[in-house]
């Protein structure tokens, strides 16, 4: 199943508002054919020691729940 990139961007935009309020941000980098979404965490998100945890338990969970076809979410520097 192909990932709806417009829906993915919409979901990321909503999450960005909360992240920006804390001095961070999130950008969509790529969507692979296998459903892997690559994002870049910047600002306080990139520097936070809990960013890997936040990516897997928060960001990935929300994206996978709301965007059909997403199989996993990885950070750009993983």
**CATH architecture of structural domain 5-75:** 2-Layer Sandwich (3.30)
Domain range list for the chain: 5-75
The confidence band for 21, taking pLDDT boundaries of 50, 70 and 90, is confident
Question: pLDDT at residue 64 above 70?
Answer: yes
pLDDT at 38: 95
Please check whether residue 41 is in contact with residue 24, taking contact to mean a CB–CB distance below 8 angstroms.
yes
pLDDT at 45: 61
Q: What is the average pLDDT across 21-49?
A: 84
């Amino acid at each position: 199943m192909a990932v709806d990139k417009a829906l993915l961007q919409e979901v990321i935009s909503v999450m960005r508002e909360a992240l920006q309020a804390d001095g961070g941000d999130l950008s969509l980098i790529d969507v692979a054919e296998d459903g892997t979404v690559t994002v870049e965490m910047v600002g306080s998100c990139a520097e936070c020691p809990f960013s890997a945890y936040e990516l897997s338990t928060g960001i990935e969970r929300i994206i996978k729940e709301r965007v059909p076809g997403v199989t996993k979410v990885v950070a750009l520097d993983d």
